[in-house]
């Protein structure tokens, strides 16, 4: 029989009416809540990073190829070039490249009824350019492209629609103020769809259109563009893909820019969430460790006489230490099982029901996002067990200082 294991099970599980049993319950509750908070915190943090990144990638792609930009955060750029089919085909040969689409950006004024508002047109050369964006359409149909001339269809956001009181199918006027021209150019366009991404800075100003519409305003040929928007298959290899495009496909003055460079403030903010995740894990582990050390010391103190008896019967200090380490292991394991069940259960409930909502204008999404990863849950559980047990070895050494004669007189 494994005597340390037998005694540990009696101490941690079967004792019901002692003060230490109450402390054991408190320790189990603390570990349960700590593990649950760690799982929920990491799931929310990673879910939020994934959802926001996914929205930005759908709206803008992962990599841009364009002329040198003094300020990569600004999308308005006067430099243009001709659409190079050979370059597009060459970039599409790179394994991680999903699609390459030519784009054009132009600022203008939107006049709807009696109100005028400044907006930015984002034009693509064909329907493929907006393929990843169509999931954000709330009503309407895609833009109908025509290779021979520009389309009058545009897609506006729900934010602009509500502010300007524009409905699906309405006709509005776009005024373009070009350099060295005193008279603005006007285009009447048709609202063919309304979208809603939840990204406030995008929704309040961006209108989607045919790039040839922008070319017509600037008296450019139908093949003039400002750059290429590239979507990749694996976001984790974006930097490698950017370097491969730059080294293998481009010639000066063309440059590559990742979306992280063009929206550095947003992605820096998302990166800071990893630090929040680490802080949550550290605090929760600290709470679990403090509670476990307290529980262990109380277990030893309450069973000082038992320690004295076992020592007088010839049991070694190491064996007696094993009793209390096993007891701690029972407590930690019970707390981890309960905490994992609670954390995963609440995460699955949020995934399927969505009972916690967010202000989309502030957080970019309507509900708290969840991303459960089995590897992360395993690391949290195993890490909690290992750290707690290793740190509990030190206070368990107090057993070696207990004298059998004094312990037997202890009351």
Residues 6+ apart with CB under 8 A from 390: none
The confidence score (pLDDT) of residue 411 equals 53
By the 8 A CB rule, do 397 and 298 touch?
A: no
DSSP 367: B
Please state, in angstroms and rounded to a whole number, the distance separating the CA atoms of residues 268 and 63.
Answer: 17
Determine the pLDDT at residue 377: 92
Q: Do 242 and 63 contact (CB within 8 A), yes or no?
A: yes
Residue (of 216, 396, 160) closest to 298 by Cα position: 396
Mapping DSSP to helix (H, G, I), strand (E, B) and coil, where does residue 37 land? helix
Instruction: Indicate the helix (H) or strand (E) that contains 257.
Output: strand 254-258
pLDDT at 347: 92
The reported pLDDT for the residue numbered 184 is 84
- Over the Cα atoms of the chain, what is R_g? 32
Taking the alpha carbons of 330, 335, 341, 343 in that order, is the dihedral positive or negative? negative
Query: Which helix (H) or strand (E) element contains residue 380?
Result: helix 374-396
Helix crossing, 19-60 with 317-353: angle to 10°? 40
Residue 385's pLDDT is: 87
pLDDT of residue 23: 75
What SS3 state is found at 116? strand
Q: In terms of Cα–Cα distance, which of 48, 170, 173 is closest to 109?
A: 173
Residues 244 and 89: their CA atoms lie apart, in Å, by 14
Q: What are the φ/ψ torsions at residue 370 (nearest 5 degrees)?
A: -130, 135
Supply φ then ψ for residue 63, to 5 degrees.
-135, 140
What's the CA angle centered on 82, arms 81 and 87, to 5 degrees?
Answer: 105
CA trace torsion 153, 155, 161, 164 (10° rounding): -50
Token couple for 9: 């099970």
Mean pLDDT in consecutive groups of 10 residues from the start of the chain, 411 residues:
60 58 81 91 89 86 85 73 88 91 90 84 87 87 87 91 88 84 85 89 89 88 87 89 89 86 80 84 86 76 70 72 77 90 93 83 82 91 87 70 61 53
Q: Is-contact 287 389, C-beta < 8 A?
A: no
H or E element in which residue 58 lies: helix 19-60
What span, in angstroms and rounded, lies between the C-alpha atoms of 145 and 2?
Answer: 78
Q: Do you find a cis peptide bond into 253, omega within 30 degrees of 0?
A: yes
Q: Beta strands 171-176 and 224-225: pairing type?
A: unpaired
Residue written as token pair 């209390």: 324
If residue 202 lies in a helix (H) or strand (E), which one and from where to where? helix 200-203
Structure tokens at 164: 């300007």
Count of CB atoms situated within 10 Å of the CB of 282: 11
Rounded Cα distance between 32 and 14, Å, is: 20
CA 45/CA 142 separation, integer angstroms:
34
- Nearest Cα neighbor of 369 from 361, 378, 377, 360 is 360
Measured CA distances, 36 to 33, 168, 378, 383 (Å): 5, 46, 13, 14
Residue 83: per-residue pLDDT? 87
Q: For 258-274, give the secondary structure using H, E and C.
A: EHHHHCHHHHHHHHHHH
- Compute, in degrees rounded to 10, the torsion defined by CA atoms 165, 168, 171, 174: 70
Q: Is the full-model pTM beyond 0.75?
A: yes
Residue 368: closest CA among 115, 51, 2: 51
């Amino acid at each position: 029989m494994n005597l340390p294991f037998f005694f540990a099970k009696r101490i941690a599980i079967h004792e019901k009416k002692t003060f230490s049993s109450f402390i054991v319950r408190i320790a189990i509750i603390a570990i349960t809540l700590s593990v649950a908070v760690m799982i929920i915190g990491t799931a929310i943090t990673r879910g939020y990073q994934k959802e926001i990144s996914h929205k930005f990638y759908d709206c803008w792609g992962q990599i841009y190829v364009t002329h040198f930009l003094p300020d990569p955060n600004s999308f308005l750029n006067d430099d243009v070039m001709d659409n190079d089919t050979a370059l597009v085909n060459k970039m599409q040969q790179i394994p991680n490249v999903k699609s390459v689409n030519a784009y054009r950006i132009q600022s203008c004024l939107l006049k709807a009824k009696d109100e005028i508002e400044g907006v930015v047109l984002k034009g693509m050369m064909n329907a493929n350019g907006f393929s990843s964006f169509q999931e954000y359409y709330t009503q309407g149909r895609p833009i109908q492209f025509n290779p021979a001339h520009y389309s009058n269809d545009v897609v506006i956001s729900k934010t602009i629609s509500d502010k300007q009181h524009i409905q699906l199918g309405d006709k509005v006027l776009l005024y373009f103020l070009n350099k060295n021209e005193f008279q603005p150019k006007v285009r009447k366009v048709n609202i063919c769809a309304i979208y809603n991404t939840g990204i406030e800075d995008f929704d309040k100003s961006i209108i989607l259109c045919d790039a040839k519409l922008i070319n017509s305003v600037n008296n450019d040929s139908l093949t003039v563009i400002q750059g290429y928007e590239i979507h990749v298959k694996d976001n984790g290899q974006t930097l490698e893909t950017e370097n491969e495009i730059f080294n293998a496909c481009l010639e000066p003055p063309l440059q590559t820019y990742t979306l992280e460079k063009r929206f550095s403030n947003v992605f820096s903010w998302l990166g800071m969430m990893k630090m929040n995740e680490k802080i949550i894990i550290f605090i929760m582990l600290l709470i679990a460790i403090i509670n476990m050390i307290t529980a262990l010391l109380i277990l030893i103190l309450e069973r000082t006489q038992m320690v004295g008896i076992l020592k007088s019967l010839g049991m070694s200090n190491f064996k007696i230490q094993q009793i209390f380490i096993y007891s701690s292991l029972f407590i930690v394991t019970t707390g981890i099982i309960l905490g994992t069940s609670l954390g995963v259960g609440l995460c699955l409930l949020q995934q399927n029901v969505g009972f916690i909502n967010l202000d989309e204008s502030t957080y970019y999404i309507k509900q708290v996002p969840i991303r459960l990863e089995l590897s992360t849950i395993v690391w949290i559980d195993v890490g909690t067990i290992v750290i707690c047990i290793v740190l509990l070895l030190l206070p368990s050494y107090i057993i070696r200082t207990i004298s059998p004669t004094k312990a037997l007189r202890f009351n």
